[in-house]
Every structure is written in structure tokens, then in C-alpha cells.
Chain A
Amino acid sequence: MRSPADAGAGGRVLLERIARGLAMLSLLWLLVLAFRDRVAPGRAVVESGELPRLLTEWSTSGAPAAVHVRTVGAFAPFARDWLRALAGAGTGVTWEGSALTPTALAVEPVADPEGGTSGWIAAPAEVPTIVEDAVGQLDSIRSGSPGARILVRSGPDELLVRSGSSIARSRVADSLVLGRLLLLGRAGWESKFVAAALEERGWKIDARLRLSPKGDVRQGQVAPIDTTRYSAVLVLDSVGPAEAVRVAEFVRSGGGVIVSGPALRSPGLGVLAAGSPGSMVPGREPFDTSAAEPRRGLELLPLTPRADAVVLERRERLAAVAARRIERGRAVTSGYLDTWRWRMGGSEAAVREHRDWWADLVAGVAHTVRISRPAEGFTDEAPVATLFARLGPSAPAPRSRDGTNPVSRALLFAALMAALLVEWTSRRLRGVR
């Protein structure tokens, strides 16, 4: 006789069989999907770390029809270029990336007889950025907005910037041929020490220093003021109208000019100045020997900058040094008076700092002749931008070819587990193992 339990068992057994069957089907389907992903005809999905090995393989043994690269951070440049070449040969290349740090670097030589290299860096502000040359680390900086600038006085040919996962690399492409400087002013301490600083730096100077109706102090030939001879003119005191016109013409044709101190009040030079001088502001007494702000001890004619001027230096809120372009040339205006007091009375490094400061002002305006250098080595000045340019924008991995929308793997897995659970529960409740 069949027991009541046996009587109901038939339905239960059927349910169990159905559940089991469902579980098997789900499992099978998941397997098929996995195979499809793996063996989707002609598509490789790789991580960027595998590229060095795979690229060689693909180039020698045949590349897949399509490649999708996943990367955290930027690719190595050779991999990027290689993929570009593969794409050109017919392989479909797509990529998706995360943690890409957009970085860019440009370097230039400094117009200074002692050389030097300037680097302009674009990198996200919150990412620490390391600057290196061929030998090792030079500095670590945090970019402000919109970027950062570095001046390396030893003048390396190449700079490298690491920012997050990106590495940008740039080389100095030109050599500079420097002309002479022309110094116009009065005989006095300022002209003496400015000339001394620049000559110590290696600049060759012609000078005309007003002294007396009986004669002026001259050096070299105060020849026609043009860019074939001079890189820049420094005007430290008032000049006559004719001379002011010649200097203005020189600047318009590409030369540089620095107008400083009492020259600011010279009527003929107003057209060149980057700002108009105000009333003199005394310096801090006693002379501040603190290295952080050595020029606070100097008297200052604060500048009201012109609309097209860039303020290069401030003292508290007053513009002390400003610059502007004048047609093809450049002009810097400095309101500091008697900068020689800094050299004489400043800190231990004052002589060198005074020299550096004047040399930097001159470098900012100097007309130079550029000579291209033969390209050597490898540059990658904007790695992320180049990646986008070569391989297109980042995109997720494309779907499989037949276009079906497979049942979500998660749902399938859930169905599998539910079916197994039902089957097991039912058997246990029946008392069957």
C-alpha cells in the first residue's frame, strides 16, 4: 500500500527533477557564454601589462582581428605606437583606461650665457609631480592652476615628468645664439653693479653711462641699435628723445628692453614701459637680509600695469616688475631702485641672487637666434593626449558578434542556485538524502 507520503512523492519528485533540469540548463548556458567571451571569433581582450609579449607574438604569428586593451594608467609609448601600427594593418584596436593622469611638458633653453633649461608642466593640481633629468630626480612639485614651471640652471638637454601614472618627456630642440647687451644709464652704483652682474654671468656689454658734459663713460661701440648686434637694451636712467625712439624701434623689430628705476620717469620711454610708476615706497629698514624676500629692503616705484602687461613680481599688493609684448619684441619694467644695495648688503648668497635676478630679467626679453639641433632620443610630451590621438577615445569592450542580449550572468547564477536549493530542500523534506 502506498503511504500518504508516497502518494505526494510523485509530484515532489517531478518538481525536483524540474529544478535539477533548470540548474543543469543554467550551468550549461553559463559555460556557453564563457566560451563565447573567450573564443569570440578574432577578438582579444588583454591587460596593458601583457602587451610587450603579445605585441611581438601578434606581429610575428598573426594578430587577432580585433584587440581590446584594458589599462590602468597610460601605456608605454612604444606599445601605443605599435598598436597604432597594428590598427593600420587592419586589426581593430580599442581600449579602455582608468587612472589616466593628463600630463604635458614643454622645455626650452634659457637665453643666458650660463645656459639653463625651462620646463612648462601641465598636470592635475592634486597629483604630486616629479621632475627628472637623465641622471635622476631634480624636484618634486605640485602644480597650481593651470600648471607649473621649473627652471633648471644646470641646463639638461632632456626633462622627464612623472605625474601619477603618466610620464612625459621632452628635449631641448634648439640652441640659442645670444647677442650683446646695451646698457644706457648714468655713471653710478646701479649701472656699475648691473653691468658687473651681467658681465660676470657671461654677457657681453656695450655701455654708455652719462657722466659729464666733458664726456661719458663708454664701452664697446654704441652702434646702431638693432637685433643683429644686440639681444636686449637695459635703460637704467632717462635717455634723450632720439635715443628713446631708436630703442623703441629696436624693440618693435624683435629686441628686448628692460626699463628700470629712474628711467621709468623718462618721457620718451613711456611707450615701452609695461606700467607707469607711482610714488616711491621706501624699503624696509634695516636692509632685510632674509633670503626669502631680499628685495623688500629696496625702495620701489610701484607700477600701474598697462592692460596688456603681465605682472611678474609683486611686493605685497604693489606691482614691482611687469612685462609686455610690443609687436615682435618684449619689454620688462622694474620699479626697484638701487638694486645694488641688495648685492652689497644682502645675505651670503646675495651676490649670486642679484646676478640671477638680473640675468633672468634679461633672459625674459632677450632676442636670440635659434638653431635647430639634430633630433636625438625620444620624446613624449603629452602621453595621454597622444594616446587619444593615436588610438581614439577610451571605450568599454564591444559586445559579441551575434548581437543577442544574453541573460544576465548574475541572474543565471541566481537561477542556478535557486533551482539547486529547491531540489535539495524538497528531497530533505521527503526524508531522502
Chain B
Amino acid sequence: MSAVTRVRNARVALLGALAASAFLTAILAFGTVLLVVALADFFQPLPLGLRRVAIPLGVLLAFVAGSLTLWRGRGAWSLPRVALYLEELLPGLQFALVTAVVPAGRRDPALLERAVERGYSAGALRPPILRALVRPAVGLLALVLALVALPGSSVTRVLRPRPGDLLLAPRGRGSPLDRLNPLVVVVSPPAYAGRSPATLDDPASVRALEGSAIVVRGRGAAIAPAESLGLVRGGVVAPARIAGDTWSLSLVMPGRAEVVRLVDGGRTRLLTLEPVLDAPPAVTLRSPRSDSTLARPTGSLLLDATASDDIGLGVFWIELLLTTGGGERFTTTTRRLGLVSPGGAVGAAIRLALRLDTMGLGPGDVLNLRAVARDRNDVTGPGEGSSDTRTIRITDPELKDAIPIVPASAATLDTTVLSQRMLIIRAETLLVRQRRFTPDSFRVQSQRLGERQRMLYDRVQALILELETATDVGFIEETEESKLLRVAGLAMRRAEDHLMRARVSAALPEMYQALDALDKGRTSRRLYLRGMLPRIVVDLEQVRLTGTEKAQVGPRSARPPLPDARRRLLERLERLLPRSGRLGPALADSLTMIRAEALTDTPEAAPFLARALEALRAGRDPGPWLRQSRRVLERESESEPSLSAWRGSR
């Protein structure tokens, strides 16, 4: 065998050993990460997120360790380097091997071969190869032994971390018999919500959709008799179900926040149930935009509606009520138009045209249109939401003085009149107090009024638009009312202009004029309706006390005092506050109960109470959060900077 061949063989052996060593080192690195995480988890259960990182981290470290090993042994690829290495191991070669392998200068091959033959020993590589393999192998063996020594649950929690594996965590040193810690809660929303179940590890409270199925699981059922394990709710104790070492309790999320008690002999643990209520759908009828009265039922009416829901829509339609008749006899038919089944989508729309001439409408008939949507809640519902109603009337020529009315905008006009009056009062007040202001701040105040005047102007313009082009059916010409509103609008614009220039005294006459025109517009619509309005004035003096029937006036019964949930909670909180620094964990149960009540009665205080509970459980002072809660609950004190001669109750 030539020297080169020997060196090649040696190289193969070394490369093989390197690969094996790198592999073993990688495995060792991976295993070490797992072992460290499993050990840490053994002493203090680690959160799921951290455990999920263990395997990727182990793979990464394994890759790095293996790569490093290969890198360090990269010399084994080179023949000369291998030959040099052999020379080190076999000094008797006296560099004959290297000389044979490295082509350089004049050499005597035969002489070299003989020298190599004399000095070479194939077994020289055995010890270093063994060393390279044995070290990681021993490490690996130790690792395996350590992993075997750990409880299998710890290893499982690292190898297959998943929600709910908290019950596999090693028991804490202090309380092996505490079957109420830890807990795992599995929440399954109602089927209609189409959501997956969620698992919570050791929660203090459970927040879920009303009607969700809740399963509370714990372990240690085998430690002691399970009869003492149960759930107390509303005074009733429900026993736990046992399966091996695991116990479970089932309940349903109520419609109101509640605290339930888990009991095991003398131990108690509270669990707050926080329902998320399924809101009914929000529905808007975009067209028609307002009520209207038609002389003739011709043309088509655009119906445009949208609906949205927090969970999912079940069905959505436009409801049409057609009432015919008169006097005391009316007949109503109900139809559903454009019915859609969104199949759980959170939004839907309907758009269709209603042919009025095909509906057989007659004089005096009334159409009521609204959009209605229902969600898929089959637990407490379905929740139903509806839009505002639009009323379309067909005029009856037999009725006197039938004039189109748009009652909805009548109300808007009323509000506009009130707002204009308020604005005038503020402008007058500003003028009276002008001397108290600097010129700049007076201008700012005046401009604010100008902006309000502008808003009113916009509202009036919208009213004019409604009156003159109100429906999709036909164009209604300028009316008496819209003319008056136009006058009011012009006056408002002039007033706004003055106000923006801080000329309040010049603005006021314009504002009065606007109010006058608005009032006239309002009055003008009070004079008409369908038919004549009788106005009967009762002659009170003539009639007074002429009734002869006997009466026996009954007594009045008292009105009970108003329950004040806020006050009740505040009193309970104030009893706890002075002791918050001292009681520590014992405070947690009382706070849990108060927070559950607050969730329903005074939700603005609930977040602060939650933070107080978190602080308490983390060993911090809950005082600042409790004081915040109190500030939210209590009414502000009332102070006066003077002492009256009247001392109240003395």
C-alpha cells in the first residue's frame, strides 16, 4: 500500500469520526436545551410560550454545535494536514509520509515508501478517534439518564407543549395536596359563534360569550376522596367528575358576571365568570331617507339597507307593513322583501327597487318600511335589530287640507329652533360680559359661536333639501316652509359672518331674524294635518265640581328608596382600603367579589379593581389601584369657599 493510499485511508477514517462526533455533539446540544428547560419547568412551571421556544432553540444550538465541531475538524479534508497529523502521532516516520504526500523537489519514492512502511501503524488513529467519539457519547449518556430521571410529564411539557398541559406540571413543593391549584379551564363558545374552543391555564377569571360551555379541570383526584371536590354556585354544590387522577366540573357562562367557588374540603378558590354579551345586529335603512306622502303611487322606491353584527348575521330582510282601510277598520299585511341569509357573515346589504304601481295601493294607504336583521344566537336569542321606520302615505283626496308632512323633519326643526334660541342667549351673555374678556379671548368666544351658527345653518340647509327633494319618487317643489327656512338660512350666514369677526352686536339682529323665520316655519306646519284638527276648549268654570258620582280616594303608597349599587360597592371598598397594605392575599377574595359586582353595576370601576387584584397576586401594593377605583365610584365632594351663617343641621 503506498504512502498516499495510507494517508487517504486515514483521511476517510478521520472524516468519518468527525462526522460522527459532530452528530453526537449536535444531539447533545439539543438534548441539553431540552434538559435545562425541563429542569426549570420542574422547579417552576414555565409559561407555554417559553416552552414552545425550547425545541426550535435546541435545533438551533444543535446546528451551531455540530457546525462548530465540523469547522474545528476541517483540517481532515486536506491530505497534507492528515499526513502531518500522522507524523505527530508516529514520530518514527520522520516526515517520510509528508514528503511522500506533498509533491516537492527531488525525491526517491522507493526510499520514501520503505521509510513509511517501517514507521507507519494503522492503529495510531484509534485513540484520537475514540476520544473524539467517547466524549460526546458519554455526555449523551448522562443527558439521557438525566432526562429519564425527570418526571415524564416535565419532558412531555417541553417536547409537546400545548395549552392545558399545566396539569402535567410537577406539583409545587409547598402544597402537594392542593387540588384546586393549578387549574385548566376549557371554554367552548356556543356553536352558532363558529369559534374554536380555547384553553386557559390557571385563570382567575374566565371571559367568554354568554352560553359558552366551561369545563374546569384539575388533578389529584386520586390523592384523596373526591367527594369533597365541588363547585358552589347560588348555594348549590355540584360534585366533580373523576377520570383517573383528573377531576372536572362543567358549567355554562351566565348572562351576568358572577363569582363561583370551587371547594375541596377546607380549601376554596374563586373563579370569576365574565360574560361577553352578544349584541343584536345594527341595522340602517339608507333609502328611503325620510317619510313622505305621495299624491299617486307611481314609480319605484329604492330600498337600500345594511346590517352588521359582532358575531354573525343569520337572516336579514326589509319588512313592509301595508295598512289599508279607514275609520275603525284597518287591514294590515306584512311582507318580507329581499330576504338574505348571510350565513354568519358579520355584514350584509340589501338593495332593491320597489315598484309602487304593482302594489295595489289606494288613497289613504300607509306603507311602513324598515330593515330587520337577526343574528344566529340560539342561546339567548336570536338577537334582533331593526332600523328606523320610513312611512310612505298615499294621500286621500277626501280628507280636507291634506298637505304633505314630514314629521321627522318637524322634530329636527323644533330642535333647530331651540338651538338657535340657546345660541342667542350665549351671544347676549357674551356681549354683556365683554369687558371681562381680553380682545383675543372675546374673539375666540365669538368665533366659537360663529361655528355653532354655521352648524345650525348646515342643518337648515339639509332640511330644505329634504323638503324640496326628499324622496326618490318625485321632486317636491319649494314649499312655504322651505321658503321660510331659506330666509332663516340667509340670516344665519350673515350672523355667522359677524360672529367670526367678533361683531357680536351686529350678529344678534341677524340671529333674531333667523329665529323668527324658523319659528314661522315651525308654526306653519302646526296648522295642518290629515283632516281638520278640532280644538275644543273646555269651559272649566262651568263644569267645575259638577260631577255627582261618589269617589273614595285611595291612599298613596310609598316609593321605595333607590338602590344605589355604586354606593354599596363604595362602602365595601372603603372598608377594605385602610387594610389593603396589611392583609395581602386575604384581600383577594373580597376584591374578587367586588369586581364581579362592578362588572355589571359600575363597569367603569372594574378595570381598576382588576389591576388591584393583579398587583395583589404579584405581591405588590394594590392601594393605588384601589384608590383609583374609589375615585371612580364616589361622587365628587362639594365645596364652597365661604362659611355661611347657616350651618345646616345644627
Q: Is B195 an interface residue (CB 8 A)?
A: no
When distances are taken between beta carbons in the complex, the residues of chain B under 8 Å from A136 are 627, 630
Contact A363 B648, beta carbon cutoff 8 Å: yes
Q: Is B635 an interface residue (CB 8 A)?
A: yes
How far does the Cβ of B601 sit from chain A's closest Cβ, in whole Å?
16
Contact B556 A138, beta carbon cutoff 8 Å: no
Q: Is B586 an interface residue (CB 8 A)?
A: no
- B342-350, B417-425, B447-455, B476-484 - interface stretch: B417-425
How far does the Cβ of B422 sit from chain A's closest Cβ, in whole Å?
7
Q: Is B562 an interface residue (CB 8 A)?
A: yes
Contact B641 A108, beta carbon cutoff 8 Å: no
Contact A151 B553, beta carbon cutoff 8 Å: no
Q: Is B604 an interface residue (CB 8 A)?
A: no
How far does the Cβ of B428 sit from chain A's closest Cβ, in whole Å?
11
- A67-75, A199-207, A335-343 - interface stretch: A199-207
In the complex, chain A residues 242-289 whose Cβ is within 8 Å of any chain B Cβ: 284-286
Name which of A136, A143, A323, A363 has the most chain B CB atoms within 10 A of its CB.
A136
Contact A118 B639, beta carbon cutoff 8 Å: no
Contact A199 B552, beta carbon cutoff 8 Å: no
In the complex, chain B residues 375-423 whose Cβ is within 8 Å of any chain A Cβ: 418, 421-422
Tell me the bound Cα distance from A211 to B561 in angstroms.
25
Q: Is B106 an interface residue (CB 8 A)?
A: no
The 0/1 profile, CB within 8 Å of B marked 1, for residues 130-158 of chain A is 01001110110111111111111110100
Contact A312 B637, beta carbon cutoff 8 Å: no
**Chain A residue at minimal CB-CB distance from B638:** A151
Contact B643 A364, beta carbon cutoff 8 Å: no
Contact A148 B649, beta carbon cutoff 8 Å: no
The 0/1 profile, CB within 8 Å of A marked 1, for residues 530-555 of chain B is 00000000000000010000111101
Contact A134 B558, beta carbon cutoff 8 Å: no
Contact A154 B648, beta carbon cutoff 8 Å: no
Contact B643 A323, beta carbon cutoff 8 Å: no
Q: Is B127 an interface residue (CB 8 A)?
A: no
Name which of A135, A213, A285, A364 has the most chain B CB atoms within 10 A of its CB.
A135
**Chain A residue at minimal CB-CB distance from B578:** A134
Contact A142 B553, beta carbon cutoff 8 Å: no
Contact A149 B556, beta carbon cutoff 8 Å: no
Q: Is B642 an interface residue (CB 8 A)?
A: yes
Q: Is B570 an interface residue (CB 8 A)?
A: yes
Contact A363 B649, beta carbon cutoff 8 Å: yes
The 0/1 profile, CB within 8 Å of B marked 1, for residues 321-365 of chain A is 001000000000000000000000000000000000000000110
How far does the Cβ of B39 sit from chain A's closest Cβ, in whole Å?
46
Given contacts A118-B648, A141-B641, contact A219 B555 (CB under 8 A): yes
The 0/1 profile, CB within 8 Å of B marked 1, for residues 48-66 of chain A is 0000000000000000000
In the complex, chain A residues 203-254 whose Cβ is within 8 Å of any chain B Cβ: 204-205, 207, 209, 211-220
The 0/1 profile, CB within 8 Å of A marked 1, for residues 631-650 of chain B is 00011111111111111111
Contact B627 A135, beta carbon cutoff 8 Å: yes
Contact A135 B642, beta carbon cutoff 8 Å: no
Contact A154 B574, beta carbon cutoff 8 Å: yes
Contact A149 B577, beta carbon cutoff 8 Å: no
Contact A310 B634, beta carbon cutoff 8 Å: no
Given contacts A153-B635, A205-B558, contact A135 B574 (CB under 8 A): yes
How far does the Cβ of B417 sit from chain A's closest Cβ, in whole Å?
9
Tell me the bound Cα distance from A139 to B637 in angstroms.
7
Tell me the bound Cα distance from A154 to B643 in angstroms.
21
Tell me the bound Cα distance from A108 to B650 in angstroms.
8
Q: Is B557 an interface residue (CB 8 A)?
A: yes
Tell me the bound Cα distance from A355 to B627 in angstroms.
27
Tell me the bound Cα distance from A151 to B644 in angstroms.
13
Q: Is B560 an interface residue (CB 8 A)?
A: yes
Contact B646 A312, beta carbon cutoff 8 Å: yes
How far does the Cβ of A262 sit from chain B's closest Cβ, in whole Å?
18
Q: Is B233 an interface residue (CB 8 A)?
A: no
Contact partner of A366 among B550, B560, B649, CB < 8 A? B649
Contact B559 A200, beta carbon cutoff 8 Å: yes
How far does the Cβ of B50 sit from chain A's closest Cβ, in whole Å?
39
Tell me the bound Cα distance from A338 to B132 in angstroms.
102
Contact partner of B562 among A122, A200, A212, A219, CB < 8 A? A200
When distances are taken between beta carbons in the complex, the residues of chain A under 8 Å from B577 are 134-135
**Chain A residue at minimal CB-CB distance from B555:** A218
Count of chain B residues near A, Cβ 8 A: 42
Contact A111 B649, beta carbon cutoff 8 Å: yes
Q: Is B567 an interface residue (CB 8 A)?
A: yes
Tell me the bound Cα distance from A220 to B559 in angstroms.
12
How far does the Cβ of A331 sit from chain B's closest Cβ, in whole Å?
11
Tell me the bound Cα distance from A109 to B578 in angstroms.
21
Contact A219 B558, beta carbon cutoff 8 Å: yes
Q: Is A113 an interface residue (CB 8 A)?
A: yes
Contact B650 A114, beta carbon cutoff 8 Å: no
When distances are taken between beta carbons in the complex, the residues of chain B under 8 Å from A216 are 553
How far does the Cβ of A65 sit from chain B's closest Cβ, in whole Å?
43
* A interface, size bucket: 35 or more
Name which of A138, A149, A200 has the most chain B CB atoms within 10 A of its CB.
A149
When distances are taken between beta carbons in the complex, the residues of chain A under 8 Å from B421 are 285-286
When distances are taken between beta carbons in the complex, the residues of chain A under 8 Å from B550 are 214
Tell me the bound Cα distance from A207 to B558 in angstroms.
10
Tell me the bound Cα distance from A10 to B487 in angstroms.
116
Q: Is A196 an interface residue (CB 8 A)?
A: yes
When distances are taken between beta carbons in the complex, the residues of chain A under 8 Å from B634 are 153-154
How far does the Cβ of B550 sit from chain A's closest Cβ, in whole Å?
7
**Chain A residue at minimal CB-CB distance from B562:** A200
Tell me the bound Cα distance from A202 to B560 in angstroms.
7
When distances are taken between beta carbons in the complex, the residues of chain A under 8 Å from B647 are 120
Contact B643 A217, beta carbon cutoff 8 Å: no
How far does the Cβ of A253 sit from chain B's closest Cβ, in whole Å?
17
Contact A323 B553, beta carbon cutoff 8 Å: no
How far does the Cβ of B638 sit from chain A's closest Cβ, in whole Å?
5
Q: Is A195 an interface residue (CB 8 A)?
A: yes
Contact B639 A145, beta carbon cutoff 8 Å: no
Contact partner of B556 among A113, A148, A151, A217, CB < 8 A? A217
**Chain B residue at minimal CB-CB distance from A143:** B641
Given contacts A202-B561, A312-B646, contact A219 B556 (CB under 8 A): yes
Tell me the bound Cα distance from A204 to B557 in angstroms.
11
How far does the Cβ of A190 sit from chain B's closest Cβ, in whole Å?
15
Contact B649 A215, beta carbon cutoff 8 Å: no
Contact B555 A217, beta carbon cutoff 8 Å: yes
Contact partner of B642 among A131, A146, A204, A212, CB < 8 A? A146
**Chain A residue at minimal CB-CB distance from B559:** A199
When distances are taken between beta carbons in the complex, the residues of chain A under 8 Å from B560 are 199
Contact A110 B641, beta carbon cutoff 8 Å: no
How far does the Cβ of A137 sit from chain B's closest Cβ, in whole Å?
9
In the complex, chain A residues 96-127 whose Cβ is within 8 Å of any chain B Cβ: 108-111, 113-114, 118, 120, 122
Name which of B559, B570, B577, B646 has the most chain A CB atoms within 10 A of its CB.
B646
Contact B648 A148, beta carbon cutoff 8 Å: no
Given contacts A215-B553, A219-B558, contact A154 B645 (CB under 8 A): no
Q: Is A170 an interface residue (CB 8 A)?
A: no
Tell me the bound Cα distance from A286 to B425 in angstroms.
10
Known: A108-B648, A312-B644. 18 other contacts (CB 8 A): A111-B649, A113-B561, A118-B649, A122-B643, A136-B627, A143-B641, A148-B640, A148-B642, A151-B638, A153-B634, A214-B553, A215-B552, A217-B556, A218-B556, A219-B556, A219-B557, A284-B425, A312-B646
Offer 17 A-B interface pairs, CB within 8 angstroms, sorted by A. Answer: A113-B561, A120-B643, A122-B643, A138-B637, A144-B643, A146-B643, A147-B642, A149-B639, A150-B638, A150-B639, A153-B634, A153-B635, A199-B561, A205-B558, A215-B552, A215-B553, A310-B645
Identify the 7 closest CB pairs spanning chains A and B, nearest first.
Answer: A215-B553, A144-B641, A199-B559, A144-B642, A214-B551, A147-B643, A202-B561
Instruction: Report which A residues bind B (CB closer than 8 A).
Output: 108-111, 113-114, 118, 120, 122, 131, 134-136, 138-139, 141-154, 156, 176, 195-196, 199-202, 204-205, 207, 209, 211-220, 284-286, 310, 312, 323, 363-364, 366, 368
Instruction: Report which B residues bind A (CB closer than 8 A).
Output: 418, 421-422, 425, 545, 550-553, 555-562, 564, 567, 570, 574, 577-578, 627, 630, 634-650
